[in-house]
Structures are given as C-alpha cells and as structure tokens.
Amino acid sequence: MRIHTILSSRVDGPGLRVVLFMQGCSLGCRFCQNRHLWNAQGGKEMNVEDVAEAILSHPDYCGNVTITGGEPFEQYESLAFLTCILKQKGSHIIVYSGYTFEELVSNRKIAVFPHIDVLVDGRFIYELDNPYLSYRGNQRVIDIPQTLKTGQISLLDWDSPQVIVDPEGNLLIPQGLGDMFAEIGESHSSPRCGQTVRHKMIHRSDRWQENQKLFADVMENQAMLLGETV
Ligand code: SF4
C-alpha cells in the first residue's frame, strides 16, 4: 500500500490517536488541505503488515487509530486487510473518506465496515465548512456498528459542548471558538484539519473562577450555534 506518514494527534478524532495518512486521492475537493496527498505515486510503498506493526508499536498508541488521507478507499483491498489486522488487535478505528457511506455501499466497498468503528464521510465542501464542528468541516460522523445493526445510518455526536484539556494543559476546541478564548492563552490552528484550536491555558488560581465562567459562556454559545440547548 502507498502511505504518506504515520504520526500521533489529538485533532483527528477524539482522544490521543495514531494517525495513518494514506497516499493518493482522485476526488479533488476545492481548498483541500492535503493536496500533497493527491498523487497516487507519491509517498512510499509499504506492505500492509508492516504498516499495522508501525501503528501498533507507535509510542503514542493507546488503542486509538485514525486512517485518513488521501483517500483510504482508493486502496480498498489494503484498507480492508489493514483494518482487519488492527481490529483483531482491539483497536478503535476511525476512517475518514471523501466517499459517502451510500457511495461505498453501491460500489460494494463494504468489507471494511465490520472492522471499523466510525466513518467520517463525504467530500470536503468549502461552502459548508463549519468551524464550530469538532474534528471535521462538513462531513457526517457515522457510528458503523450501530448502522450495520439497524440498517439505518446512525450518527455520533462529536459536538456537544465539552472542554478537552490534554496532559500538557492545552485546551482543544473547534476553530470557530478560538477568538473567544484569546484572553487566556495563545491559540494555534491545526494545519491538518483546520477544525481544532489549541489554547495554552493559564494556570493561575486567581483566574480560575473567571476562566470557568468563560468556559461556561463559550460552551453555551457553541450550543446555540449548533442549534442545541445546553
Ligand atoms: S477527499 Fe479529502 S484528501 Fe481527497 S480531495 Fe477531498 S478533502 Fe482532499
């Protein structure tokens, strides 16, 4: 299979994840942030077992894997084999695809589904890009086991208001909320997906109450932006 890189991340799905970037995508979404992954001859060739081993032995591997690209389903057989190996090892697997679930089903690319937990599906559509969503721009987040069980597409909620703080003290929030936290820390947009901002928090006890109020206000605001109630 052709891959670009394997690294760890907290912005490609919930939690600390080992992320495989596969090489090659023919879908050509406008303003794609991974154009360097379009060329199917780019990256490097590795056999599937070696890719699985590299993921499972990554120092940050704690059971979570994200497979993205590039377009993973354009290397369908390799993807099916890889997810099969990883699932046998107990991994929680998220796959990002520019194809929709329905397209994959109608093209009979279904052998991957029994091995994965979540499919984030569909083209990136710039006009629909929503900076208040977590870990994606406009795509759906499909609970694959539940969808297979019921025969109806079942969506996961990645957007309920929550505060995520990583072990280094960074606050992880959707990009659209970054300005609201400007006064309590620096922010950095992820170059990968553009959907998550990291804020260095200020750990000063005299500001904690103030910051808690700010969190509550912002999360309420986020809920309103998403059309939900807190
Ligand atoms: S499917 Fe993903 S990698 Fe391919 S063009 Fe669209 S955004 Fe880029």
Q: 132 pLDDT band (50/70/90 cuts)? A: confident
98 and 175 assigned to the same domain: no
Residue 229 has pLDDT above 50, yes or no: no
CB of 31 sitting under 6 A from ligand 1: no
Q: 200 pLDDT band (50/70/90 cuts)? A: low
141 and 184 assigned to the same domain: no
CB of 225 sitting under 6 A from ligand 1: no
CA distances from 145 to 74, 79, 149, 153, 163 (A): 22, 17, 6, 10, 27
Closest by Cα among 109, 117, 55 to 82: 55
Q: Kindly give the distance from the C-alpha atom of residue 190 to the centroid of ligand 1, in angstroms, as a whole number.
A: 17
pTM: 0.88
Residue 145 lies in a domain: yes
Residue 156 lies in a domain: no
Tell me the mean pLDDT in the region 116-129.
93
Q: Measure the CA–CA gap between 66 and 70, rounded to whole angstroms.
A: 13
Supply the pLDDT for residue 129.
Answer: 86
Number of domains in the chain: 2
Atom of ligand 1 nearest to the CA of 98: 1
95 and 202 assigned to the same domain: no
Q: What's the CATH number where 70 sits?
A: 3.20.20.70
Residue 194 has pLDDT above 60, yes or no: no
CB of 40 sitting under 6 A from ligand 1: no
- Mention every residue, 6+ apart, whose C-beta is less than 8 A from residue 85: 48, 49, 52
Residue 35 has pLDDT above 70, yes or no: yes
Residue 6 has pLDDT above 90, yes or no: yes
129 and 198 assigned to the same domain: no
Supply the pLDDT for residue 230.
Answer: 37
Query: Tell me, what DSSP letter sits at residue 124?
Result: -
Residue 212 has pLDDT above 60, yes or no: yes
* Torsion sign (Cα): 80, 86, 89, 92: negative
CB of 124 sitting under 6 A from ligand 1: yes
CB of 25 sitting under 6 A from ligand 1: yes
Q: Measure the CA–CA gap between 108 and 95, rounded to whole angstroms.
A: 17
The answer to whether 140 and 124 are in contact (CB under 8 A) is: no
Closest by Cα among 174, 169, 190 to 223: 174
Q: Measure the CA–CA gap between 148 and 177, rounded to whole angstroms.
A: 34
Nearest-CA residue for ligand 1 atom 3 is 70
Q: Is 189 helix (H, G, I), strand (E, B) or coil?
A: strand
Range scoring the smallest mean pLDDT among 5-19, 142-156, 196-210: 196-210
Nearest-CA residue for ligand 1 atom 6 is 29
Q: 21 pLDDT band (50/70/90 cuts)? A: very high
Tokens of 21: 């970037």
pLDDT (tens digit per residue) in 135-178: 898 999 999 999 999 999 999 998 876 667 777 777 788 877 77
Residue, of 199 and 70, whose pLDDT is higher? 70
Atom of ligand 1 nearest to the CA of 37: 3
Half-sphere exposure of 125 (CA within 13 A, CB side): 10
Tell me if the bond preceding 70 is cis, omega within 30° of 0: yes
Range scoring the smallest mean pLDDT among 124-133, 155-164, 173-182, 183-192: 183-192
223 and 169 assigned to the same domain: yes
28 and 139 assigned to the same domain: yes
Burial 124-140 (b: 16+ CB within 10 A, else e): beeeebbbbbbbbbebe
Nearest-CA residue for ligand 1 atom 8 is 32
Tokens 């694959």: give the residue.
Answer: 144
Q: Write down the mean pLDDT value for the chain.
A: 86
Pocket test for ligand 1, best of 123, 128, 135 (most atoms within 8 A of CB): 123
Q: Is 165 helix (H, G, I), strand (E, B) or coil?
A: strand
| Domain carrying residue 168 | 164-229
pLDDT (tens digit per residue) in 53-62: 999 999 999 9
139 and 174 assigned to the same domain: no
Residue 225 has pLDDT above 60, yes or no: no
Q: Is 224 helix (H, G, I), strand (E, B) or coil?
A: helix
Q: Measure the CA–CA gap between 52 and 168, rounded to whole angstroms.
A: 28
CB of 24 sitting under 6 A from ligand 1: no
Residue 206 lies in a domain: yes
CB of 29 sitting under 6 A from ligand 1: yes
Tell me the mean pLDDT in the region 27-45.
94
